[in-house]
Structure 1
C-alpha cells in the first residue's frame, strides 16, 4: 500500500513515521510532504500513484480539503484520510468522498486501526466481478461498479465510467460473486456498491453522479447500517 502523508507540522510527520515503523508492516510504503503544493508537484513530476492520502486539513496556502477536491476530479478510487484538531470539519471533508477522519492528537492505536481498515478495503476493491455474454468474457473490478440491476433473465452492470454491460445470470449467481460487506441489496432487483452511496432521501438512495435508486423498506435498515460502517472506515 503506497501512502502519501502531508502535514506542515514536522512533529506530526515524525510522529506518523514512527507509528508506521512501529507497525513493522513491509507492505506499507510511504512518502512525506510538508505542503499540498509539494505533494502536487511530486505527483505531476513523477506521475506518482498513491493508494492512500493522509492529509492535514489546516495547511497554509492550500488546505488538505482543497487538495483532495482537486484530486477527486482526476482519481475517484484512491483513499483519502483527513487529520485535524477541530471536529467542525467532519462534515465538510465528506465532500471529497473521504475514507476516514482522524482527530488530533494522534495516537498509535488510531493510526494502526486506520491503516488496517485501508488495507482491508483495498484488498476487497481489487476483487473482480467475472461474467460472460454472447461468447465474450468480462472482468470488472468491484471498485468500478456503481450498481447492478436484475431485469427478467438479464442483469445489467453499471460502471463508474458510465458504461453498462449485460449478462444472463440469476440473482443467486450475482450475489455469490460479490462481497457482502461491499455491496448491498436495495430491493429484489437492485444491488448497489456501498462506497458509491452519497445519501438517502425518502425511499431513494443517491449514488455518485446524482442518480437516484429505489430502496424498499425491507432492505433499507440493513443498507443504512452497511453505509454507516463504510463511512466509519469499518468496511
Structure 2
C-alpha cells in the first residue's frame, strides 16, 4: 500500500490535485490519499508513514519547508514535492531533498506529467537501488542513496558514504577506476564536479560558480571545465533552471 498526502491551505486546490493523481495512469487501488489544509494538521499526523507528500510552500504557522523538516525527522525515504508559485528554489530547500517543484501556473498537461513522475519516483523508492563494487578483492553492494560522492585515488576510487539515520559518514575503498564507476552511476543522477570526483545530486544542497555543498557539510570545488554540464544536469534533476540562482 502506498500512502500519499496532499497539504495545501486552499481546499479547492487540494481536491484538484487529488483528482489529478487519481486520473493518472500510474494511480492504482494500492494507493490511498490523505488531505490536509494546514502545515500544523499535517505535522500532527506524522505518526503515519507516507510514501509521497505534496506540500504547499506558503502556509500560515507551519509552512511547507518547516513541515518537510519535521517529515524528514520521521522518514528519509518519503518523496517530497513542493507546490509553489515561486520561480526559483532556495538553497535551504535542498536540505530536505525534494524531488520536484510543482508551479501552480502549470498547464493541465504539464501538471499531469509532473504527477506521473512523482508517482514513478514513489514506486521506485520501494526498490533497492545498489551498486556492486570490488573492495580489497571482495564484492560489496552499496546503497546508491547513501553515496555522497566518489573520488579518484591512486589505486582506484573512494566511496564517501553517509548514513542519514545515524548521521555518520564512512569511506569504502574500491579497486575500480572512476570512469568505470561513473558509467555505472551516471543514470542515477551522478555527475563529474571535477576530474577527480563524481557527485550524487541527491546529496547536494547548494551550488555556486565555484563550489558544491553537500548535506553532510562537505564543500567541493566545481571546476570550470565541468561547470556547465554539472549545472545543466542538476537543473533538470531539481526540476528548475537553477542557473538563475548561481552566485
Displacement after TM superposition at 1:120 (Å):
5.0
Equivalent residues in 2 for 1:209-224 (5 A)?
209-224=216-231
Displacement after TM superposition at 1:67 (Å):
0.9
C-alpha separation in 1, matches of 2:115 and 2:190: 22
C-alpha separation in 2, matches of 1:190 and 1:35: 42
C-alpha separation in 2, matches of 1:89 and 1:150: 33
C-alpha spacing 1:165/1:2, structure 2 compared with 1 (3 Å):
farther
Aligned residue among 185, 188, 191 for 1:178 = 185
Structure 1 residue runs of 4 or more that deviate by more than 6 Å after TM superposition: none
Equivalent residues in 2 for 1:86-125 (5 A)?
86-87=85-86, 90-91=89-90, 94=93, 96-104=96-104, 107-119=107-119, 121=121, 123=124
**Other-structure match for 1:31:** 34
3-state SS of 2:194 partner: coil
Q: Is 148-157 or 71-80 further displaced after alignment?
A: 71-80
Do residues 141 (structure 1) and 134 (structure 2) align? no
Displacement after TM superposition at 1:94 (Å):
2.2
Displacement after TM superposition at 1:72 (Å):
3.2
Equivalent residues in 2 for 1:64-103 (5 A)?
64-84=64-84, 86-87=85-86, 90-91=89-90, 94=93, 96-103=96-103
Taking structure 1 as the reference length, the TM-score comes to: 0.81
Taking structure 2 as the reference length, the TM-score comes to: 0.78
**Other-structure match for 1:54:** 54
Q: Deviations over 1:151-187 (max 9, x none)?
A: 0113111122212111211224312321336000122
Counterpart contact for 1:99–1:233, Cα < 8 Å? no
Counterpart contact for 1:68–1:80, Cα < 8 Å? yes
Unaligned stretches of 5+ residues in structure 2:
164-168, 242-247
Displacement after TM superposition at 1:205 (Å):
1.9
Alpha-carbon RMSD:
3.0
Displacement after TM superposition at 1:88 (Å):
7.5
Do residues 197 (structure 1) and 197 (structure 2) align? no
